[in-house]
Amino acid sequence: MKKKLIIRTSLIVLLIILGIILFVIGKQHKVLLDNRDLTIDGVTYTAEAAYEIWVDGEKVGRTALNPGRRNVAYVVGPSHEIELREVKNGKPTGDSIVKKFRLSVKQSEVIINIPALAAGSDSFLYEAD
């Protein structure tokens, strides 16, 4: 009798854990990609270049993201990778920048600032209001 109770309780706990795992890995996040000027902690990053952007290996938008523009990507799950490549005169130049980032389940909508990311700042990602 007691054994069954323990088994049942642990099964329910297991299912709840499964639910949480599903919640985390299935959570969709809206990622806004801003190629705009941004000032963080007194440092200003200015948008000067156009970029081609890949999020989790998928290209965002058909063309490069020009300065002053914004694009959007939807991602699922907690950990992601963003890749940037500068575009000049319609041709990709220079090395691509690859950056990993994590999103918590609470972050439904976040903004990634491309100039800050390109400049190597760690605070390129912040929550949208």
Binding range to another protein, per CB under 8 A, among 15-23, 38-46, 63-71, 120-128: 15-23
Instruction: Return the residue of 43, 72, 76, 98 that touches another protein, per CB under 8 A.
Output: 76
Handedness of CA 52, 56, 57, 59 (dihedral sign): negative
Give yes or no for residue 22 binding another protein (CB under 8 A).
Answer: yes
Give yes or no for residue 9 binding another protein (CB under 8 A).
Answer: no
Give yes or no for residue 98 binding another protein (CB under 8 A).
Answer: no
Q: Contact residues for another protein (CB under 8 A)? A: 3-4, 7-8, 11, 15, 18-19, 22-23, 25-29, 76, 108
